[in-house]
Amino acid sequence: MFDKRKIAEKFALSEHIVIHPGDCLDLLRVIPDGSIKLIVTSPPYNIGKEYEKRLKLDSYLEQQAAVIPECVRCLADNGSICWQVGNYVRHGAIIPLDTLLYPIFTGLGLTMRNRIVWHFEHGLHCSRRFSGRYETIMWFTKSDGYTFNLDSVRVPQKYPGKRYFKGPNAGRYSCNPLGKNPGDLWVIPNVKSNHVEKTEHPCQYPVELIERLVLSMTDEDDWVLDPFLGTGTSIIAAIRHNRRGAGAEIVPKYIQMAKDRIKQQLAGTLRTRPMDKPVYDPFKAGNSLTTAPWNKKQNDKQEGLFDKPARKHGCAIQ
């Protein structure tokens, strides 16, 4: 691990950690061609101080169309771009952003390898449509010779001791002893109020989400870049696994948060949710507030639980 590194503001290949305090295009334009192994980000729909100004959809897409070509230029031939987005809601209508951004990437010659679905349990509660509980990660590569370290991110097999019953392989394990491919549906808790990683940032993603991308798509000492850095999660995931990290952020408060969190990571004091920690299942834990498929007897025990939820439980019903 890079344990005593300075946090530079100007990019140079000799650095290990770079946080550019300003527009991401200013950072991207000084990065040499083909020098970044992984570009991973979650571009905000809002801009300006404290992200108080919400972009119109057309303006958002124009902004992305300016940033993405510079990212492609910086990307190594064996590198990957992972663009994490959700839905844009306009007048009650859902607009999936990945479908609008896809043509920008493919128009620049990139190939989509996966559309990863990130599923989580917590978010806004809707009353006139099903509550949104997933976002997507579009994974693009520049060539067919991209880095992909599957063994680094395998997860436990459902039946680890399963063997072939008959045939030429009878008696042998029928699954990979290192674990199974995690697939393209990732169940990882999002960062909400009770999450150990929570900061003031409104759209913070968990370190473990980025760790899986870093481990599978880069090697040690490779560069990981986040054009919209936020509170530094992408750099934290990178340096945790002996990679180099760079990013840009325009909000001074978030820049300071990123620096503080990175320093904590280097000191070994940053609290994060471990990659291998199972997702909490309150039903299996015997939590009486959770019911499996509708069961009247169990549900009767919860009588009155949802009376006036906005006032009683502080929920925002939308």
| pLDDT computed for residue 298 by the predictor | 41
Q: Could you list the beta-strand ranges (E) of 31-86.
A: 36-41, 46-47, 53-54, 75-85
At 152, list the tokens.
Answer: 């680094």
| pLDDT computed for residue 217 by the predictor | 98
Query: At a CB cut-off of 8 Å and minimum separation 6, what does 242 contact?
Result: 1, 2, 220, 221
Q: How far is CA 68 from the centre of its chain?
A: 18
Read off the pLDDT of residues 42-51 as tens digits, 9 standing for 90 and up: 998 754 444 4
Read off the pLDDT of residues 74-102 as tens digits, 9 standing for 90 and up: 999 999 999 999 888 888 888 999 999 99
Distance in angstroms (rounded) separating the CA atoms of residues 54 and 202:
13
Cα separation values, 266 from 2, 200, 238, Å: 7, 21, 11
SS3 at position 20: strand
The secondary element (H helix, E strand) that includes residue 245 is strand 244-249
Q: How far is CA 144 from the centre of its chain?
A: 23
Give the orientation angle of helix 233-240 with respect to helix 207-217, to 10 degrees: 50
Please report, rounded to a whole number, the percentage of residues in the chain having pLDDT higher than 90.
Answer: 53
CB 102 within 8 A of CB 112: yes
Higher pLDDT, 223 or 316: 223
Provide mean pLDDT across the span 126-142.
88
pLDDT at 188 over 70: yes
Mean pLDDT over each residue of the chain, to the nearest integer: 83
The label of the residue with tokens 């599923």 reads 119
> What are the structural domains, with CATH classification, of the chain?
17-280 (3.40.50.150), 290-318 (no CATH)
Instruction: Label each residue of 196-254 as H, E or C.
Output: CCCCCCCCCCCHHHHHHHHHHHCCCCCEEEECCCCCCHHHHHHHHCCCEEEEEECCHHH
| pLDDT computed for residue 272 by the predictor | 78
How much is the pTM? 0.81
Read off the pLDDT of residues 255-272 as tens digits, 9 standing for 90 and up: 999 999 999 999 989 877
Using CA of residue 275, residue 136, residue 229, residue 121, what is the dihedral sign? negative
